[in-house]
Structure 1
Amino acid sequence: MSLVVRARRVVLPDGERAATVHTADGRVAAVTAFADAPAGVVTLADDEVLLPGLVDSHVHVNEPGRTEWEGFASATAAAAAGGVTTVVDMPLNSVPPTTTVEALRVKQRAAEEQVAVDVAFWGGAVPGDLDQLRPLHEAGVVGFKCFLLDSGVPEFPPLDDAGLRAALAELAALDALLVAHAEDADVVAAAPPPAGASYAAFLASRPPAAEETAIGRLVAAARDTGARVHVVHLADAGALPLLREARAAGVRVTVETCPHYLTFAAEQVPDGDTAYKCCPPIRAAGHREALWAALVDGHGGRPVIDMVVSDHSPCTPELKRLDVGDFGLAWGGIASLQVALPAVWTGARARGVPLARVVQWMSAAPARLAGLPGKGAIAVGKDADLVAFAPEERRRVGALRHRHPVTPYAGRELTGVVRRTWLRGVEVDGTPRGRLLSRGGR
């Protein structure tokens, strides 16, 4: 089947313009003028923009082992509804965690024949699995995730400094990527523990210094080993100068933030509403605005933050402890895979940021991070992953396809609606046509 789609607005690598996108065998075959359209062309409505499928490189699917939290079928259905055509699954919260090739195969068997979009996989770096990093790399994982403090699940313990440096030395030899949850265990241990319904108390339990100290450790280890590292879910604006200096000094470090850090502010989080709990926490409005600035212009230099990904980390409603509203007891994680694009676009639009920049943050940059050359842009030779997006339509969040609809976005009005999604030239309709991807492949 050869799909041809045209639109008055198409987001291409060199900018936005009217164009016709021709596909063959699941890939983009040509991009021509709007008028160059054969019979049977799909013409988008005047209020729609054609985007490349988004790539979300930070998704916790949780299957197998905690499939009651989320599973491949529900997660990829939500992804497609949100314009995400490729997800990269994190190695923890599933059981077993993806810390061996055998565990990777278990996860792949669980995913095959039920995914609506394409799925790639992170490996895990934990104490005692140093000898597993090379085999996992050769098996095609896109990189390795580690924690620098308690992950929240006992089967995925954190790396101490010695373990971090040993892992980075091994990964540097492979030119493989380490992505790190960067909060410092000692700083968190010294902070008052969270308890009760007070969001201010929870915020105090995960202070900005926890992020800054851990990022400092990560940057120092990357500098000394020459390894590539990536900071996941940055919430603290105070770490931006450190990251800017590290890049200027040649340290190979990239950075992501998440829609919830760009949308919400601590001052607006209601006490007892544990749907907002995540780690690191949603910080004050000043942090939010500084994160936006670091995405857009980096204060006059290269932007410090490279991308925006969801960190979709759902759980059962019971684990969110909405019944008692206790931030100390609730699971920390925000379900947002389906709403990530409209959430980010709503904020970007309000700040005068063009849609093409959002596409860079949410498609091209995470595809590059994960080493998926067939993804991330509407360009000849790339997979024909396409999205019809209505950027001016407003809608309240509801009818979510995540396994559980608990999210702080529920009922919030956002701007931008995904109307259609195509995976390799075929419209996503619930049929599990997704593929399992390896790093560098398709």
Structure 2
Amino acid sequence: MNLENTLTFAQQQDQQDPLSAYQDLFHQPVINNKAVLYFTGNSLGLSPKAAKSYVNAELDEWAKWGVEGHFHATNPWVSYHEILTPASAMIVGAKESEVVCMNSLTTNLHLLFVSFYRPTKQRYKIISEAKMFPSDRYLLETQAQHHGFEPDDAIIEVAPREGEHLIREEDILATIAAHGDQVALVFFGGVNYFTGQLFDMKKLTDAAHQVGALAGFDLAHAAGNIPLNLHDWNVDFAAWCTYKYLNGSAGNVGAIFVHERHGENTEIPRFGGWWGHNKERRFLMENQFEPMNGAEGWQLSNAPVMGMAILKSSLDIFQEVGMEKLRTKSIKLTAFLEFVFNNVIELFPDINLEIITPADSNQRGCQLSVKLEGTDKRFFQALTDAGVIADFREPNVIRLAPTPLYNSFEDVYRFGQILTNLLTSWK
């Protein structure tokens, strides 16, 4: 596709976009009486317009049935989480038995580490990416400490080489091989939150298994962003939130994946709760925990129905569209943002502007992380005041995520015009 940084081109692309109608299914923010350009689906997705009706339906069921809604609501609450499973499994490329929505992201990861990080004196090291999301780093530190290890010894971070922004795949694979029989776990973010770099999860999983370790992933920035194939990649476990690309609302319920070879092994140690207990005997209130088969055996508590109703309003859209169509648009839309930004770079040769996200679409999702040397948070605030909702990371990186469900090519074009005007006055 020959790209042009013009309004006419952007509008033509929107007219030809088979997913353009989905933009109208989401509320577009209006801040200070002004419609804004929203590029932070990598932080919090937009609200589906249907979310209110989905929640209201459950509020009506509550009003009608009280506690009996658990069994007699149109979607009985006792099994409400199960109606989220087909779409969730489709999004991450899993069998339905391997996926369940529950708890929140870091809570889920700690629960999974109970089962899958079981270090010994010989095999205790965790290999991860440097500059991972802080919550993941805190997870690793406290898990290592819980098992009696010093974090700086147990955690091996693979960092970009000097003067580079991205982690080289060969450096990850070499690190795994070098530590060999000391490695208990390879744990990465599927997409790095800061740079937007997409890691080859199949390769990392294979490398972990070759040295006798397990492989797990935080998919917060991957689920709903890129096509995943967790089952066929043989990933051991994964977890993700639903409030970013999955538009589940702030702080809403998370989800987990446990490969069936582990899920069918009910002898794997875990922390138990009554929603993970054999559901045929759950209400007999027995003392002995009997975990369910599959990912559901890691559940603790009953479903938070109101939050799940919001999530369902978005997952229904994902199930209708499918990840293949979303990815096709995402690649085009992100490429257009890259093109527009490179045009801006040419206009300001004296300002050090740089995209630190991989240029190869196979190594990124829809996020572009942009380094604006010589600017600071004051510039980001000016961008916000001009009507662009993006995400700032110290010291000078702006993260932009043109999300295919609700962002348009015209959004991207208008961002380029605003950025150009701001840099002109900033000089």
What range describes the TM-score normalised by the shorter chain of this pair? under 0.3
Considering only CA atoms, is the larger Rg found in Structure 1 or Structure 2?
Answer: 2
Higher strand share: 1
**What's the TM-score, normalizing by structure 2?**
0.27
